[in-house]
Amino acid sequence: MSYINDTISFVRDTFESKDFIPLHEPNFSGKEKEYVLDTINSTFVSSVGAYVDRFEEMMQEISQTKKAVAVVNGTSGIQVALRLVGVKIGDEVLTQALTFVATANAIAYNGAKPVFIDVDLDTMGLSSKAVQSFLEEYGELRENGCYNKKTGNKIAACLPMHTFGFPVRIDELIKICNNWKIPVVEDAAESLGSEYKGQPTGSFGEVGVFSFNGNKIVTSGGGGVIVTNNDALGIKAKYLTTTAKQPHAYEYVHDELGYNYRMPNLNAALACAQLEKLNWFLEKKRGLAKKYEEFFKGADAKFRTELPETKANYWLMCVELENRNARDIFLKETNEAKVMTRPIWELMYKLPMYKDCLKDEQVSAKFLVDRIVNIPSSVKG
Ligand SMILES: *Cc1c(COP(=O)(O)O)cnc(C)c1O
C-alpha cells in the first residue's frame, strides 16, 4: 500500500539512515560518560553517593513535588507506592487493562487484585467516566474507605497510567476518587516532562512514579523514582526502599519488612546527565512530532497529537490505523523494511495471570488495541 511505502521513506529521510531504525534509542550526547566515570573514580558506585542525592533533588524540581526517592526501577517504585497508600493483601486496585504489564504486576506484588477499567479513546489512559460508573455500580463507602459491595474487598487505590506520555484526565479522576475515599497513585513511568493544565504528571496523586529504563525518554540504565507532596509518605518511601532500617549509630534495627530497592549511584550519575538535557529532549521530541503530524495529514494513518490543556512528552509516538487488518499490514511492511513499529500492548486480562480479574466492557481499549501502532521516536544528535 502506497501510504506505507511513503511512511517508510519519510522515516528513513527523517532519521537519515538506510539501516535498521529502532523504535526508541537512548541518546548520550551530554555529560553521561563524565558523571559515570566520576562514580568509578570516587569508588561510590553503590547505593550511597552524591549523584543519588542530586538526582532526587532534580526530580523534586522537575516534578514539582516535595520529596523524590530514587529506586531500582519503575516497577518496584509502583509496588512501594501502592503499599505507601495502604494497599494490602486481598485489596482491589482500579487500573487500566491497556497498559504495560508492570502496572498490573506492581499491584499483584502487593497481593492485591487489579480491577480493569476502560480507557478514554482520546487520552488512551484510565477513563474518569468509566471509573465513576464502576464505582456507582460496585462501590460502597464505609468508615475506613471504599469497598466493592459485590466481592467484599476493599478498593484500596486507583492507578491511572499516562499512556506514551499523553496525560489522562487526572483532575477528574482525583475528584471522583476523593469522593469515594480512594487514594490515587500515578503510573507516570512514560510521562516524564508531560503536563496536565500546566502541572507535571506524577504530581497530582498521593504518590507518583517515573521510570528511567533504557527505553524511556531519559534513562539511568535501569531506575525509577517515587515522588510525593506528602512528607510522611516521602520519609516512609525512603525507609521501605532501604530495608526498613531505623537510623542508629551502629546497630542494625529493621522493624518492618522492607526492600533493597535503592538506586545505585552509578545509575544516578547517568540519570543526572540525562535530566540536564530533559528540555532539549522534549524540544526535539516535539519537533519530530510536528514533522510526523504534517506528514500524516490526510493519510490513512492518523497521527496522535496532544489534547487541549495538556503537554505530551511524545515519548513513543503513534498512529491510529483504520482497523485491525490495516494495522497488521502496516506492522508487517514497516518491520520487513527494517523500520521498527510495534502494536500497543495486549490487554492485561488476556494474560494468563490476570484472566480472572474483574473488568468492565473495555469498549475503547478494544478499539485502540486493534488500531494503535508505535513508530520510530528517537532523538537524534
Ligand atoms: C516502563 C514502565 C513501567 C516500569 O518501569 P521499569 O523501570 O521498566 O520497571 C511501569 N509502567 C509503565 C506503563 C511503563 O511503561
Q: How high is the pLDDT of residue 262?
A: 97
Query: Is 84 in the same domain as 8?
Result: no
Q: Are residues 135 and 187 in the same domain?
A: yes
What integer best gives the mean pLDDT of the chain?
Answer: 97
At which of 277, 306, 334 does a domain end? 277
Number of domains forming the structure of the chain: 2
- Res 1: pLDDT: 61
**Same structural domain, 312 and 210:** no
Domain boundary among 277, 309, 333: 277
pLDDT tens for 108-157 read: 999 999 999 999 999 999 999 999 999 999 999 999 999 999 999 999 99
Per the DSSP assignment, residues forming a β-bridge with 227 are 68, 208
Whether residue 245 sits in one domain with residue 214: yes
| Average confidence (pLDDT) over 175-201 | 98
- Indicate which CATH number applies to the domain containing 370: 3.90.1150.10
Residue with cell 555529560: 31
What percentage of the chain carries pLDDT values higher than 90? 95
**Is the residue at 379 inside a domain?**
no
Same domain, 174 and 222: yes
As a three-state string, the secondary structure of the chain is CHHHHHHHHHHHHHCCCCCCECCCCCCCCCCHHHHHHHHHHHCCCCCCCHHHHHHHHHHHHHHCCCEEEEECCHHHHHHHHHHHCCCCCCCEEEEECCCCHHHHHHHHCCCCEEEEECECCCCCCECHHHHHHHHHHHEEEECCEEEECCCCCEEEEEECECHHHCCCCHHHHHHHHHHCCCCEEEECCCCCCCEECCEECCCCCCEEEEECCCCCCCCCCCCEEEEECCHHHHHHHHHHHECCECCCCCCCCECCCCCECECCHHHHHHHHHHHCCHHHHHHHHHHHHHHHHHHHCCCCCEECCCCCCEECCCCCEEEECCCHHHHHHHHHHHHHCCECCEECCCCHHHCHHHCCCCECCCHHHHHHHCCEEEECCCCCC
Give the pLDDT confidence of 207-231 residue by residue, as tens digits.
Answer: 999 999 999 999 999 999 999 999 9
pLDDT at 247 over 90: no
What would the grid cell of residue 328 be?
A: 497488521
**C-alpha cell of 152?**
467484599
pLDDT for residue 48 is more than 90: no
**Which of 215, 249, 277 is where one domain is finished?**
277
Distance 367 CA to ligand 1 centre (A): 23
Give per-residue pLDDT as tens, 315-328.
Answer: 999 999 999 999 99
Q: Are residues 231 and 138 in the same domain?
A: yes
Backbone angles phi, psi at 205, to 5 degrees: -75, 175
Ligand 1 pocket mutation, candidates 96, 166, 187, criterion most atoms within 8 A of CB: 187
Ligand 1 centroid vs 257 CA: distance in angstroms?
24
Q: Based on the domain organization, do 287 and 212 belong to the same domain?
A: no
Residue 324's domain comprises 2-26+278-349+358-374
190 within ligand 1 shell (Cβ under 6 A): yes
Pocket test for ligand 1, best of 72, 73, 76, 100 (most atoms within 8 A of CB): 100
Do 19 and 43 lie in one domain? The reply is no
* Residue 380 within any structural domain of the chain: no
In a domain, 44, yes or no: yes
Q: Is the CB of residue 186 below 6 angstroms from any atom belonging to ligand 1?
A: no
Ligand 1 center–CA 75 separation, angstroms: 6
On whether both 200 and 262 belong to a single domain, the answer is yes
Q: Are residues 16 and 138 both part of a single domain? A: no
Q: Which atom of ligand 1 is nearest to the CA of 223?
A: 7
- In this structure, the answer to whether residues 256 and 135 fall within a common structural domain is yes
- The pLDDT score that the predictor gives to residue 313 is 98
341-368 pLDDT per residue, tens: 999 999 999 999 999 999 999 999 999 9
Does one domain contain both 165 and 289? Answer: no
